[in-house]
């Protein structure tokens, strides 16, 4: 038969080894023997609440109805359950399953299979678990390794992480590492290099260091303070990348800014403005406002509603600038369309069309169409056909040549 030993309420008792269960009265204090002081319970510890263990504690289970404090290591073979209270462990803690209503605080390492805390979880050491579920906040100073973190409020992890899925309702911050799936309602930050498969954040994302991953879906803004490799980026607001950026596709409602190069195997679609200090390249480039870069290259099409500013120019199969747009830098394409009342510098193409009221410096093409009220301040050279409407201003007479200067 399993023995039960009781400790009276408001008493202080020294124990060593208990064969069976231990019942601890309210506000009782337990001390251990040896160095460091230790108490070993072969069965379950039942605490009525506001109990303090001035020692290391090991048992099969720990049950409490209110606050429990352990000034030492806590080793539980199976389950820890604290109702209507908090558990503080000033040492390391191990268990299979942990269920604490209010809060759990561990000053050293925490190793569990599953931990469920209604309020807050704080660990000063490392955390290793399969499943972490917290209603309020989760803070860890050490490394965190787990399959799943589900937190209703906020997460703050100062060191490296290895997480399969991170699901946070508010804000999350990690020190870097690996996260397979990030799903955060508010903001997400990584202070170091991050590897990921998917990031889905409602508000703001900031990554530091060289990061690498898959799909990125952000409702607000996305900032990378370093290089980035990715698959697809979809952002409602603004994207800023301080280093080199390489991926498949980018779809942004507002603005894209890259301090170095931006290389895509797929499409770049931006509703507002694109600023790239070095080269931007993609299969298709579609910008509603302004495209600024040292050089812009597209495998297929470049379509810009506002302006193109490029020192080395734009190269593509097809280039179109919108009405009243402006192009600074040369255009090289098989087909070029300059919109109504738009301005361009040097144009090199097989088929070139200048819509009504367009301005250009020099136009070189196989077949050129110049609509009415256009103005050419330099020269026009063509090898095939030239079609011109009335009321066109030319600085020089057009020349049909055998070979174009490109």
Rounded to whole angstroms, the Cα distance separating 72 from 74 reads 7
CA-nearest of 139, 143, 153, 147 to 166 is 147
pLDDT (average), residues 289-309: 97
**pLDDT bucket at 2, cuts 50 / 70 / 90:** low
Give the pLDDT of residue 405: 84
Report the DSSP beta bridge partners of residue 376.
Answer: 360, 394
Reported as a single tens digit per residue, the pLDDT across 70-124 is 999 999 999 999 999 999 999 999 999 999 999 999 999 999 999 999 999 999 9
**pLDDT bucket at 318, cuts 50 / 70 / 90:** very high
Domain locations in the chain as residue ranges: 1-92, 330-406
Model confidence at 3: pLDDT above 90: no
pLDDT (average), residues 324-340: 96
pLDDT (average), residues 1-22: 91
Q: DSSP string covering 149-195, please? A: EEESSEEEE-S-EEEEEEEESSEEEE-SEEEEEEEESSEEEESS-EE
CA 303 to chain centre: 29
Reported as a single tens digit per residue, the pLDDT across 339-377 is 999 999 999 999 999 999 999 999 999 999 999 999 999
């Amino acid at each position: 038969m399993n023995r039960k030993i009781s400790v009276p309420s408001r008493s202080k008792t020294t124990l060593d080894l208990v064969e069976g269960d231990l019942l601890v009265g309210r506000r009782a204090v337990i001390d251990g023997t040896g160095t460091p002081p230790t108490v070993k319970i072969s069965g379950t510890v039942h605490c009525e609440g506001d109990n303090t263990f001035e020692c290391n504690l090991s048992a099969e289970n720990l049950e409490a109805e209110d606050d429990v404090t352990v000034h030492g290591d806590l080793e539980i073979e199976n389950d820890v359950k604290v109702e209507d209270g908090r558990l503080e462990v000033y040492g390391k803690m191990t268990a299979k399953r942990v269920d604490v209503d209010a809060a759990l605080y561990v000053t050293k390492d925490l190793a569990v299979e599953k931990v469920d805390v209604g309020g807050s979880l704080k660990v000063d050491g490392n955390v290793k678990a399969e499943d972490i579920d917290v209603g309020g906040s989760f803070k860890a100073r050490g490394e965190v390794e787990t399959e799943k973190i589900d937190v209703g409020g906020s997460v703050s992890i100062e060191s490296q992480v290895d997480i399969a899925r991170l699901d946070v309702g508010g804000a999350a911050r990690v020190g870097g590492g690996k996260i397979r799936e990030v799903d955060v309602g508010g903001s997400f930050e990584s202070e170091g290099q991050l590897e990921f498969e998917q990031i889905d954040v409602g508000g703001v994302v900031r990554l530091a260091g060289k990061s690498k991953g898959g799909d990125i879906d952000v409702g607000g803004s996305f900032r990378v303070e370093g290089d980035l490799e990715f698959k697809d980026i979809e952002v409602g607001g603004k994207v800023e990348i301080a280093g080199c950026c390489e991926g498949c596709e980018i779809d942004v409602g507002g603005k894209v800014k890259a301090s170095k190069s931006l290389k895509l195997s797929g499409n770049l679609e931006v509703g507002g403005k694109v600023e790239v200090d070095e080269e931007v390249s993609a299969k298709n480039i579609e910008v509603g406002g302004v495209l600024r870069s040292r050089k812009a290259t597209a495998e297929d099409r470049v379509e810009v509603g506002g302006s193109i500013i490029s020192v080395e120019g734009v190269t593509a199969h097809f280039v179109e600038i919108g009405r009243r747009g402006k192009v600074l830098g040369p255009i090289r394409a098989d087909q070029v369309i300059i919109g109504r009342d738009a301005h361009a510098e040097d144009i090199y193409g097989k088929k070139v069309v200048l819509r009504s009221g367009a301005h250009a410096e020099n136009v070189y093409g196989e077949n050129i169409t110049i609509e009415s009220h256009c103005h050419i301040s330099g020269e026009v050279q063509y090898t095939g056909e030239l079609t011109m409407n009335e009321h066109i201003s030319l600085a020089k007479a057009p020349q049909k040549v055998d070979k174009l200067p490109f």
